[in-house]
Amino acid sequence: MVDEKSRVKGHNNIFAIGDITYVPEVKQGFLAQKHVSVVAKNLKLLIDGAAEKKFATYKASSNIALVSLGRKEGVAQLPFGTFFRCLPGMIKSTDLFVGKTRRTLGLKAE
């Protein structure tokens, strides 16, 4: 169980991210990256002695899923509907978000 600041309930200086959290959302890697962003900000603020009101908060994401079905097709489940064939394929199948992840980590896209 974590609070809105991603702290383990009952602890002011222990944080949790990813699949182990009891956040009401689908457990997906890109959401864990969002958890990391909140926790990193809050750890820095905690170390710097900032007031709790400055801490970042995490809001659970809507259920979405993108599944690649080869190089040009896929399935996308979004809060407002499910789409298949070329549109989801264009979103994810190109490089399976590897390029975006590399850029986020400060690495050159290959």
Q: pLDDT tens digits for 43-99?
A: 999 999 999 999 999 998 777 777 777 777 778 777 788 877 766 555 655 666 677
Higher pLDDT, 39 or 99: 39
Furthest C-alpha separation in the chain: 51
pLDDT value of position 99: 76
35, 18 contact by CB (below 8 A): yes
The pTM of the full predicted model, rounded to 2 decimals, is 0.66
Reduce the DSSP state of residue 81 to 3 states and report it.
strand
